[in-house]
Amino acid sequence: MTLHLAQQGTTLRLREGRLVLEEGGLVLADFPARKVRRVAVWGNVRLSTPALVFLLRQGVPILFLSLEGFLHGVAGAFPEPDPTHLRAQFAASPLPLARAFVTGKLRSARALLKRYGLEEADRLAAVLEDVAEAASKEALLGAEGQATRVYFAGLERLLGAYGLRGRTRRPPQDPVNAALSYGYAVLLARVQLAVRLAGLHPEVGYLHAEGRRSPALALDLMEEFRVPVVDHVVLRAFRQGLLTPAHGEAREGGVYLNSEGRRVLLGLLEERFLEEATHPLGFRKSYADLIEVQASRLKGAILGRGTYTPFYLRS
């Protein structure tokens, strides 16, 4: 299980084989310690030294995030990238892998829009042809940008009543974009973890620009899961009334989810991670496992052990 610690001012302690969440001496929740696979610490939440040491000894990764979803860092035992693998990461041809990431994202985007009978799905099919024929990374990015505009035009048809007016970020300008940004941050943290567990360097990427403390490779791999995980959940949450514009709060020049909105979205995302989907190669796994599978398969492709097949939703 993934343990999300998001109630501000609380402390996680270890007591008699259980992880106990307390505030001012009052027990708010407790969990069987050995069933926890990962811990996400959101904002001002403390871990006692015994709890922290126990988790580290059990090999449980601990992710430290801001309330807006920025990943400060990860504590835990991770394999250091093998020098041979690191050289292979730098030497790998970027265009085929970048094309795979974009193709996976756009196929899923088209499948989602097609389910709602939107004409933008056909327009995305045309852009996918441009992606397949792109002879350079610049051409690929141009096609991706065009596809993003088409996709969000389709999403506006579905979510315009809730304030969506295209994609805005840093800061988001409406409740839907606030939910998308928060969801992408949650997804990125999980993908970064998978990349590190696979023994890959998260800052050596192929689609996104590399930079110090910029997890380019995790951002690359995340593209395949934006639509099937985050967009799917956010779309369903607003249309079913689980999230509403009232869950957004205006501050610092943007709109962000309030604490209740974050709680709702986190719960829905965790449910989605446990749902199963069929990989294009025919096997079924949960989304949580698929992320790790794709990180492992990406490593194999980088090392020359086969062609990388992106994950995408079937139309």
pLDDT in tens, 27-36: 988 889 888 8
Residues 250 and 203 in one domain: yes
* Alpha carbons 184 and 300: distance in angstroms, whole number: 26
Any domain includes 254: yes
Alpha carbon distance, N-terminus to C-terminus of the chain: 31
- Choosing from 13, 44, 75, the residue where a domain stops is 75
Residues 70 and 89 in one domain: no
Q: Looking at residue 211, what is its pLDDT?
A: 65
Q: Looking at residue 253, what is its pLDDT?
A: 85
Give the residue-averaged pLDDT of 130-146: 94
Decide if pLDDT at 315 tops 90: no
Contact 184, 222 (CB under 8 A): yes
Residues 236 and 252 in one domain: yes
* Alpha carbons 195 and 214: distance in angstroms, whole number: 13
Decide if pLDDT at 209 tops 90: no
Residues 65 and 103 in one domain: no
Residues 57 and 189 in one domain: no
- Choosing from 19, 47, 75, the residue where a domain stops is 75
Q: Looking at residue 88, what is its pLDDT?
A: 93
Q: With H, G, I as helix, E, B as strand and everything else as coil, classify residue 164.
A: coil
- What are the start-end ranges of the H helices in the chain? 49-57, 83-91, 94-115, 120-133, 137-159, 175-197, 216-225, 232-239, 259-274, 287-302
Q: What is the mean pLDDT of the chain?
A: 91
Q: Is 223 annotated as a binding residue?
A: yes
pLDDT band at 212 (very low <50, low <70, confident <90, very high): low
pLDDT band at 193 (very low <50, low <70, confident <90, very high): confident
**What are the φ/ψ torsions at residue 81 (nearest 5 degrees)?**
-55, 130
Residues 34 and 143 in one domain: no
Tally of structural domains, the chain: 2
- Choosing from 24, 57, 75, the residue where a domain stops is 75
Q: Looking at residue 143, what is its pLDDT?
A: 95
Decide if pLDDT at 287 tops 80: yes
Q: What is the CATH number of the domain that holds 57?
A: 3.100.10.20
Q: Is the link from the previous residue into 171 a cis peptide, with omega within 30 of 0?
A: yes
Give the residue-averaged pLDDT of 77-93: 84
Most confident option among 51-55, 162-166, 276-280: 276-280
Residues 24 and 158 in one domain: no
Residues 70 and 100 in one domain: no
Structural domain for 30, as ranges: 2-75
Q: Which residue, 230, 105, 109, 236, is CA-closest to 162?
A: 236
pLDDT band at 80 (very low <50, low <70, confident <90, very high): confident
Contact 14, 20 (CB under 8 A): yes
Any domain includes 152: yes
Any domain includes 102: yes
Residues 54 and 195 in one domain: no
Residues 187 and 47 in one domain: no
Q: Looking at residue 302, what is its pLDDT?
A: 96
Q: What would the pLDDT profile of 105-114 be if each residue is shown by its tens digit?
A: 999 999 999 9
* Alpha carbons 220 and 218: distance in angstroms, whole number: 5
Any domain includes 307: no
Any domain includes 291: yes
Q: Looking at residue 72, what is its pLDDT?
A: 83
Q: Looking at residue 278, what is its pLDDT?
A: 97
Residue 22, both tokens:
């307390």
Identify any residues that bridge with 112 across adjacent strands, giving them in sequence order.
none
Any domain includes 309: no
pLDDT band at 71 (very low <50, low <70, confident <90, very high): confident
Decide if pLDDT at 81 tops 80: no
Residues 250 and 281 in one domain: yes
Q: Looking at residue 35, what is its pLDDT?
A: 87
Decide if pLDDT at 70 tops 80: no
* Alpha carbons 305 and 179: distance in angstroms, whole number: 38
* Alpha carbons 303 and 204: distance in angstroms, whole number: 14
Decide if pLDDT at 60 tops 70: yes
Decide if pLDDT at 160 tops 90: no
Q: What is the CATH number of the domain that holds 154?
A: 1.20.120.920
Any domain includes 10: yes
Q: Is 144 annotated as a binding residue?
A: yes
Any domain includes 54: yes
Residues 65 and 108 in one domain: no
* Alpha carbons 286 and 288: distance in angstroms, whole number: 5
Give the residue-averaged pLDDT of 254-269: 93
